[in-house]
A and B are shown apart, each in its own frame.
Chain A
Amino acid sequence: MADKIKFDLVSPERLLLSQAVDMVTVPGSEGYMGVIAGHASLVSNLRAGMIDMKNDGVDTRYFIRGGFAEINATHITVLAEEALPMTELDLAILDQRIKDAQEDEIAAKTDADRQKAGQLVDDLKLVRAAF
């Protein structure tokens, strides 16, 4: 097996994970992307979606509600606005997030804000549909 990549997943409330893993798939702004050791240095916006982490043949999934990822050859750091392990996620939480995002969309003052909230609603609905 190739080298592992150090994966840090943090939200403002807590550090969810900090360990070496085989591969991480994150919801980049231009689509899902898989990251393994030796990846080119990259900073990306993240959409709401699922992070899929593979380590020693075990899959672990996390839900994030947008954020940033910083990637270089040895590290991937995900700064999520909100992150939950799959085991703590349920439909009630998702529905609440969708509702909040829809309210933000309506209350948005600028086009950019409205577009952002609208994108979030769409992304969250996709997550919900796949749940």
Chain B
Amino acid sequence: MATVKEMRTRIGSVKSTQKITKALQMVAAAKLRRAQLATEAARPYAQRMSAIISNLAAGVGPGAPLLLAGTGSDRRQLVIVATSDRGLAGAFNSSIVRAARLKIAALIEEGKDVKIITIGRKARDQLRRQYGNRFIESYELGLKAPGLALVAPIARQVIDLYTGGQFDVVTLIYNRFKSVVTQIPTIKQLIPAEVDAGGAAGAFYDYEPDEDTILTELLPQNISVQILSAILENQAGFFASQMAAMDNATRNAGDLIKALTIQMNRTRQAKITTELIEIIAGAAAV
């Protein structure tokens, strides 16, 4: 059985762990608020951009740009997996990676040619062992607040690969921030644009000044905006998830401290009782 001194050290170490988890929780809570505002503010733009693109996709004829209509095949797949850079956020990253694994495995099963781009250190670390040979590029988010400048190189690479005729379908996987307690792993097809069946399907659009000029600007912009939106959603979800995980950890540490303290007190009391019995027995023997 552990001695009182050992238990005291143990309690001390749990207490300092608790301090760390508590601090992380508060930091996450503070950052969550800002990330959540940024995500919610950016959402309408991305959604409407997406809606416009799918309206356009429904109306285009043959000869439409590749980025809008795709190549007509689905053999060569590019999967972009976006997670956070850091861990200590419960199942946040694992849930994205699990969704990605399922998707990738299903695609391989169907005999597709799958390549991967990861955004965020965790996606890279968790997928590398299994699918490392399929990686094209791994991006890290870094410490800067996500903005169009951050996604520009990623979007450029995706567009270059696609227009270079390397891929048929591009898919993006991330966690959609539904609320502080719910994040939903989401698989979104980036290219070709998904046609919204409920929308103004088949609507014919005029273009001003002309179709080419508009689409060559609008389509790459859309890719950037959609990737940025995924990163923002991820960021808000990450802090929410981290806050919950750290809150749990803090509570667990509290429970552990309580249990250990009771155990320590019992041990100390048992020792005192034993000593007393020894003294009494010794006195009785005289």
- Measured between C-beta atoms, what is the minimum distance from A64 to chain B in Å? 13
Q: Which of B44, B51, B56, B208 contacts A29 (CB 8 A)?
A: B208
Contacting residues of chain B (180-207) with chain A, CB-CB under 8 angstroms: 200, 203-207
- Measured between C-beta atoms, what is the minimum distance from B69 to chain A in Å? 16
Q: Does the CB pair A10–B48 fall under 8 Å?
A: yes
Count residues on chain B whose CB falls below 8 Å from chain A CBs: 25
- Measured between C-beta atoms, what is the minimum distance from B182 to chain A in Å? 22
Report whether over half of chain B's contact residues are helix, strand or loop; otherwise say mixed. helix
Give the one of A13, A15, A43 with max B CB within 10 A.
A43
Say yes or no: A29-B209 contact (C-beta < 8 A), given A77-B52, A79-B49. yes
Contacts of B49 in A (CB 8 A): 79
Task: Of the listed stretches B158-166, B213-221, B263-271, name the one at the interface; the rest are far from the partner chain.
Answer: B213-221
Given contacts A15-B45, A28-B208, A44-B214, 17 further A-B contacts (CB under 8 A): A10-B45, A11-B45, A13-B41, A13-B42, A14-B41, A14-B44, A29-B208, A42-B206, A42-B207, A43-B207, A43-B214, A44-B209, A45-B208, A45-B217, A68-B214, A77-B51, A79-B52
A18 to B143, CA, bound (A): 34
Check: A52 CB closer than 8 A to any chain B CB. Answer: no
Contacting residues of chain B (214-236) with chain A, CB-CB under 8 angstroms: 214, 217-218, 225, 228
A8 to B45, CA, bound (A): 10
Q: Which residues from chain B sit less than 8 Å from chain A, CB to CB?
A: 41-42, 44-45, 48-49, 51-52, 55-56, 148, 200, 203-209, 213-214, 217-218, 225, 228
Contacts of B208 in A (CB 8 A): 28-30, 42-45
Check: A41 CB closer than 8 A to any chain B CB. Answer: yes
Instruction: Tally inter-chain residue pairs, CB-CB below 8 A.
Output: 69
Check: A72 CB closer than 8 A to any chain B CB. Answer: yes
> Looking across the interface, which residue of chain A has its beta carbon closest to that of B46?
A12
A29 to B205, CA, bound (A): 16
Count residues on chain A whose CB falls below 8 Å from chain B CBs: 22
- Measured between C-beta atoms, what is the minimum distance from B149 to chain A in Å? 12
Q: Which residues from chain A sit less than 8 Å from chain B, CB to CB?
A: 8, 10-15, 18, 28-30, 40-45, 68, 70, 72, 77, 79
Q: Does the CB pair B45–A45 fall under 8 Å?
A: no
Q: Does the CB pair B200–A72 fall under 8 Å?
A: yes
Give the one of B44, B56, B209, B218 with max A CB within 10 A.
B44
Contacts of A12 in B (CB 8 A): 42, 45, 148, 225, 228
- Measured between C-beta atoms, what is the minimum distance from B200 to chain A in Å? 6
Contacts of B205 in A (CB 8 A): 41-43, 70
> Looking across the interface, which residue of chain A has its beta carbon closest to that of B203?
A41
Q: Does the CB pair A30–B209 fall under 8 Å?
A: yes
> Looking across the interface, which residue of chain A has its beta carbon closest to that of B207?
A43
